[in-house]
Chain A
Amino acid sequence: MSGWINSLLAFLALLGRWMLESTQHTGRMILFTGAVFLRLFPAWTRPRLIIQEVYAIGVLSLVIIVISGGFVGLVLGLQGYNILSKFNATESLGVMVSLSLVRELGPVVTALLFAGRAGSAMTAEIALMKTTEQLSAMEMMAVDPLRRVVAPRFWGALFAMPLLAALFSLVGILGGYLIGVVVLGVDPASYWGQIQQQMSPVDDVLNGVIKSLAFGFVIGLIAVFEGYDAEPTSLGISRATTRTVVLSSLTVLGLDFILTAWMFGT
């Protein structure tokens, strides 16, 4: 009897602690977000730092994005051909592949890969700088680490995401072409022609760009926050990187639903 009550109490205590901790974590994140936002535009006094970050983050994810984009395109080409051939509509393969990519898979899959590759790296880097007192040293040199280290990385993620998503979609469309046109014999003129006719620059392309910007925003923010907030130990660093990947992947998927409902859900 009392054993049962004890384990219930222990469970409640655990639940309470977990709730307290997550509330604190959220609170710190909100404060941090405010502090970073104040420095986003001042960070542009040194545009080179931001360009360096876009480059570094982009290069980090380039290979994985190209390879995944290619495979996703190949699969879309195969599956699309199978489905469309039942309706004698294989000439629409191009538009099917490109719409799936530009509207949905490009931004989302890129964001998931981006979180795992660049996001975790950003977190680990900042957390390590914290652990080895590099951020502290910067502070003592009257250099604001939020402005010098954090803000440029956030901008880097924000800019790199749409570029990488566009690359992903492009490679994917080429992959679809390879399977559909080269292997399965769809007419090349209709593959490209349908894309040109049916894709709307605003509804499809712009919305895709907005999505990838939004994903870049949340991944960038989560990655720099988790790095900055990490406990300065090796365990703290590994926990922070894991949290970045989990938290940003979930946020991206949830946000994708909201954005899709808003953009395409008439």
Chain B
Amino acid sequence: MDSYIQFERVSFSHGRRVILDQVDLVIPRGKITAIMGPSGTGKTTLLRLIGGQIRARSGRVMVNGLDMGRASRSELLAMRRRLGMLFQNGALFTDLTAGENVAFPLREHSRLPEDIIQRIIALKLQAVGLLSAADQMPAALSGGMSRRVALARALALDPELMLYDEPFTGQDPINLGVLLRLIASLNKALGLTSVLVSHDVTEALSIADQVFVINEGRVVGSGSPEDLLVQKAQSPFLQQFLDGVPDAVTGQSETEARNLAVALGLGVPTVPMAEQESVQ
């Protein structure tokens, strides 16, 4: 299998805190690879390593044959021109309209005439279902809308590698469907290599060809979605993460729930103190 990105024993830390610990990953060309894991395990960090914004402390990150730790400035720039990244919060340019945000990479990297640029803007915004928002400023867009405009912007230059950081957060069911179809069809029709960071398990598993689950800086599960379901049987963590329901909650009684709420400082116990003692 032809790989686009390889992580070879990659470690990364912020100060003394180890974020990624000897991670090995192979991300195949032309496929959708989902990276999943709990909040704060270093998924965004991983994408930044791929984009060359930060360098690994040890190990090697290879992107399309380029060693990101050794790449020169110009190699890095050339690599980034073929890359589209959707940031977790959108990261739209707040002083430009939605349309101009999409036009930004085109104006920076191409000498296309204005009418073509306008056509591309319309096309890309239409693909994310936001053609009507072209003249809005980012401040006037909702979080989910911003992220979709940012997706249109990331696609403006027709990248060959797309990095999606949590594209599904804050999307309603209809737009979620639009996004899932868009990501999948970009992949099928254009042969894009996609890296999809998400903790929306159902959505990610439904379109991913391959999945890596990361926890506490290590890969704790990998393979096709079907493989993962098999691995789940052996790993309590995977089970909890993929099924999303800690088993403690499923069998929780009403009293247990109430006690938990009280312990969290929520609500006042409805039962008088003395009575509650006798209940316990």
Q: State whether A141 touches B91 (Cβ < 8 A).
A: no
B255 at interface by CB-CB < 8 Å: no
Report B-chain residues with C-beta under 8 Å of the C-beta of A140.
51, 53, 80, 83, 85
A143-B80 Cα distance, complex, nearest whole Å: 9
A136-B85 Cα distance, complex, nearest whole Å: 10
A140-B109 Cα distance, complex, nearest whole Å: 13
- State how many angstroms separate the Cβ of A161 from the closest Cβ of chain B: 22
Decide yes or no: A134 and B108 within 8 Å by CB, A140-B80, A140-B83, A141-B80 being known contacts. Answer: no
B43-85 CB contact bits vs A (8 Å, 1 = yes)? 0000000010100000000000000000000000110110101
Report B-chain residues with C-beta under 8 Å of the C-beta of A148.
108
Decide yes or no: A134 and B93 within 8 Å by CB, A140-B80, A141-B80, A141-B104 being known contacts. Answer: yes
- State how many angstroms separate the Cβ of A134 from the closest Cβ of chain B: 5
Q: State whether B77 touches A133 (Cβ < 8 A).
A: no
B240 at interface by CB-CB < 8 Å: no
| Partner among B78, B89, B108 whose Cβ is within 8 Å of the Cβ of A141 | B108
B94 at interface by CB-CB < 8 Å: yes
Decide yes or no: A132 and B108 within 8 Å by CB, A140-B51, A140-B53 being known contacts. Answer: no
B87 at interface by CB-CB < 8 Å: yes
Q: State whether A142 touches B94 (Cβ < 8 A).
A: no
| Partner among B77, B81, B87, B109 whose Cβ is within 8 Å of the Cβ of A137 | B87
Decide yes or no: A132 and B89 within 8 Å by CB, A140-B51, A143-B108 being known contacts. Answer: yes
Report B-chain residues with C-beta under 8 Å of the C-beta of A133.
87, 89, 91
Q: State whether A137 touches B80 (Cβ < 8 A).
A: no
- State how many angstroms separate the Cβ of B117 from the closest Cβ of chain A: 15
- State how many angstroms separate the Cβ of A176 from the closest Cβ of chain B: 40
Report A-chain residues with C-beta under 8 Å of the C-beta of B150.
137
Report A-chain residues with C-beta under 8 Å of the C-beta of B80.
139-142
The total of chain B residues at the interface (CB under 8 A) is 19
A141-B93 Cα distance, complex, nearest whole Å: 12
- State how many angstroms separate the Cβ of A237 from the closest Cβ of chain B: 14
Q: State whether B108 touches A137 (Cβ < 8 A).
A: no
B225 at interface by CB-CB < 8 Å: no
Q: State whether A134 touches B77 (Cβ < 8 A).
A: no
Q: How many contacting A-B pairs (Cβ < 8 A)? A: 44
Report B-chain residues with C-beta under 8 Å of the C-beta of A132.
89, 91, 94
B223 at interface by CB-CB < 8 Å: no
B191 at interface by CB-CB < 8 Å: no
Within 8 A of A (CB), among B80-107: 80-81, 83, 85, 87, 89, 91-94, 104-105
A142-B78 Cα distance, complex, nearest whole Å: 8
| Partner among A129, A139, A142 whose Cβ is within 8 Å of the Cβ of B109 | A142
A128-B89 Cα distance, complex, nearest whole Å: 14
- State how many angstroms separate the Cβ of A240 from the closest Cβ of chain B: 17
A140-B81 Cα distance, complex, nearest whole Å: 8
The chain A residue sitting closest to B80, CB to CB, is: A142
A7-B209 Cα distance, complex, nearest whole Å: 63
Report A-chain residues with C-beta under 8 Å of the C-beta of B94.
128-129, 132, 134
The chain A residue sitting closest to B48, CB to CB, is: A136
A187-B167 Cα distance, complex, nearest whole Å: 74
Report B-chain residues with C-beta under 8 Å of the C-beta of A134.
91-94
A128-B80 Cα distance, complex, nearest whole Å: 23
A148-B77 Cα distance, complex, nearest whole Å: 14
Report B-chain residues with C-beta under 8 Å of the C-beta of A128.
94
A136-B104 Cα distance, complex, nearest whole Å: 14
A138-B83 Cα distance, complex, nearest whole Å: 12
20 additional A-B residue pairs with CB within 8 Å, beyond A137-B85, A141-B105: A128-B94, A129-B93, A129-B94, A133-B91, A134-B92, A134-B93, A136-B53, A136-B87, A136-B91, A137-B91, A137-B93, A139-B53, A140-B80, A140-B83, A141-B109, A142-B77, A142-B81, A142-B109, A143-B104, A143-B105
Instruction: Give B contacts to A, CB under 8 Å.
Output: 51, 53, 77-78, 80-81, 83, 85, 87, 89, 91-94, 104-105, 108-109, 150
Closest 4 CB pairs of A and B: A142-B80, A137-B91, A133-B91, A140-B85
Contact sample, A vs B, 28 pairs, CB 8 Å cutoff? A129-B93, A132-B89, A132-B91, A132-B94, A133-B89, A133-B91, A134-B92, A134-B94, A136-B53, A136-B91, A137-B85, A137-B91, A137-B93, A137-B150, A140-B80, A140-B83, A141-B80, A141-B105, A141-B108, A142-B77, A142-B78, A142-B80, A142-B81, A142-B108, A142-B109, A143-B105, A143-B108, A148-B108
